[in-house]
Amino acid sequence: MTEPAWDIYAEAPRGEAQMRDYFALLKPRVMSLVVFTAAVGMLIAPVGVHPVIAFASILCIAAGAGASGALNMWWDADIDALMRRTASRPVPAGRVAPDEALGLGVGLALISVMSLFLFANPLAAGILAFTIFYYAVIYTVWLKRLTPQNIVIGGAAGAFPPLIGWAVATGGLSIEPVLLFAIIFMWTPPHFWALALFADTDYRRAGVPMMPAVAGAARTRVLILGYALVLAPIAILPAFTAIGGPLYLAAALVLNLRFVLGAWRLARRDEAAARADGFAVEKSFFGLSIVYLFAHFLALLAEAGLGAAGLRLADWPQLL
């Protein structure tokens, strides 16, 4: 018997991916942020959820986020292959065939939305379906390669999870989850533009019109400061709603002061200074932006914990 023409001993043929490759298609790091913000939205809602329903709903939201990630990787495989940061993703690296990624994305999207409909309620399932559509079609297919406003508008996709979590618990929406949506929505541009400042070469090579490539790094730095200034009052506002309190107010004041100061430092630098120290300040601001978001949501969770323990101030002012 002769050996086959293709060398099965050298590497895995296409379509022979391992489970970890399929898992990587789901963008687990993005998924963790989605799960965290959705879980906080659910836990701080005024209505309790049975732990089993909460767990099942979180799994559905995670699967929905994974579906968005797989569809994004399917569509963007050509530009992912051109960028150092994304070239090792399963599709451009040849470990997962494109149609497998598409199948996984569509399948997970259908299963996650239908399951959330059955486990929780139609509103939560509807927002999850819209979120997947928004990320996969409006952001990935339509906006990402078209306009430098791609992540400004596309940022809404990442802002929906707290709304879904709140809807799972209450079956409705109110001003509090809308404020959480607004925080993530306004946070997304400075977060990604900080990344785009030091990953500019990658984005230019792939032809993705990120703000630094289109408007220039100097203008992007000013925009980051502008967004940080607008974000600050929005992020402080939940302190004066039913989900806030003095602990959240203190955390939000400190975090937003640091965020605005970080953006101010960024805005005062020029490209020469940034290249001289290997974009140290930009990378530090990017890291700070992640801590910023997690800390706000953790503070809200702590407020909910104090409320459950009966330690919430009765006469704390509520403006909304």
* Local structure of 245: helix, strand or coil: coil
CB 147 within 8 A of CB 202: no
Distance (Å, whole) CA 57 – CA 310:
27
Distance (Å, whole) CA 60 – CA 113:
7
Distance of closest approach, residue 53 Cβ to another protein, in angstroms: 6
Give me the 199-228 binding string for another protein, x by CB under 8 A, dash otherwise: ------------------------------
Question: How many positions of this chain bind another protein (CB under 8 A)?
Answer: 17
Distance (Å, whole) CA 140 – CA 171:
29
Distance of closest approach, residue 162 Cβ to another protein, in angstroms: 22
Q: Which amino acid is at 5?
A: A
Distance (Å, whole) CA 282 – CA 221:
10
CB 125 within 8 A of CB 116: yes
Q: Token pair of 174, please? A: 């109110």
CB 65 within 8 A of CB 37: no
Stretch near another protein under the rule CB under 8 A, chosen from 12-20, 77-85, 161-169, 224-232:
12-20
- The smaller minimum CB distance to another protein, of residues 26 and 143, is found at 26
* Local structure of 48: helix, strand or coil: coil
- The smaller minimum CB distance to another protein, of residues 58 and 210, is found at 58
- The smaller minimum CB distance to another protein, of residues 55 and 268, is found at 55
CB 263 within 8 A of CB 285: yes
- The smaller minimum CB distance to another protein, of residues 52 and 319, is found at 52
Q: Token pair of 313, please? A: 């101030």
Tell me if 16 contacts another protein by CB under 8 A.
yes
- The smaller minimum CB distance to another protein, of residues 60 and 206, is found at 60
Enumerate residues 95-154 that contact another protein by CB under 8 A: 115, 118-119
Query: 7: which residues sit within 8 A by CB, 6+ positions away?
Result: none
Positive or negative: CA dihedral 150, 153, 159, 160: negative
- The smaller minimum CB distance to another protein, of residues 1 and 319, is found at 1
Phi and psi dihedrals of 85, rounded to 5? -65, -30
Is the backbone of residue 108 left (phi > 0), alpha (psi -120 to 50) or beta? alpha
Question: Which of 146, 188, 180, 143 minimizes the C-alpha distance to 163?
Answer: 180
Tell me if 59 contacts another protein by CB under 8 A.
yes
Tell me if 5 contacts another protein by CB under 8 A.
no
- The smaller minimum CB distance to another protein, of residues 54 and 293, is found at 54
Stretch near another protein under the rule CB under 8 A, chosen from 16-24, 130-138, 164-172, 295-303:
16-24
Tell me if 12 contacts another protein by CB under 8 A.
yes
- Please give the DSSP secondary-structure letter assigned to residue 210: -
Tell me if 253 contacts another protein by CB under 8 A.
no
Distance of closest approach, residue 42 Cβ to another protein, in angstroms: 15
Tell me if 29 contacts another protein by CB under 8 A.
no
Tell me if 15 contacts another protein by CB under 8 A.
no
Distance of closest approach, residue 17 Cβ to another protein, in angstroms: 8
Question: Which of 265, 296, 312 minimizes the C-alpha distance to 46?
Answer: 312
- The smaller minimum CB distance to another protein, of residues 107 and 287, is found at 107
Give me the 37-56 binding string for another protein, x by CB under 8 A, dash otherwise: -------------x-xx-xx
Footprint on this chain of another protein (rule: CB under 8 A): 1, 8-9, 12, 16-19, 50, 52-53, 55-56, 59, 115, 118-119
